Amino acid sequence: MSSDVARFFAVAFAMGLGTIGPGIGIGLIGSKAMEALGRNPEAEAPIRTAMILAIAFAEAVAIYALVVALILKFS
């Protein structure tokens, strides 16, 4: 029974720590993109493209955390 509790704690810990970083990162990316658009509205297309790519890379870290959590849960 205690191994099940430890496994579920590890899953929760992996997801918690694995998503807080990307969440903060995505917030900062959006904030800086809006700041850049406010300073230079003519550069909307390159700023938007860079922002979407950066968000995708940050989200990939959260997906890796999900994969690790699923491996921990079902192993």
Q: CA-to-CA distance for 58 and 29, rounded, in angstroms?
A: 9
pLDDT at 4 over 80: yes
The CATH homologous superfamily for domain 2-74 is: F1F0 ATP synthase subunit C (1.20.20.10)
* pTM to 2 decimal places: 0.82
pLDDT at 9 over 80: yes
Residues 26-43: tens digit of each pLDDT: 999 999 999 999 999 999
Structural contact between residues 51 and 30, judged by C-beta atoms closer than 8 angstroms: yes
Domain edges within the chain:
2-74
pLDDT at 1 over 70: no
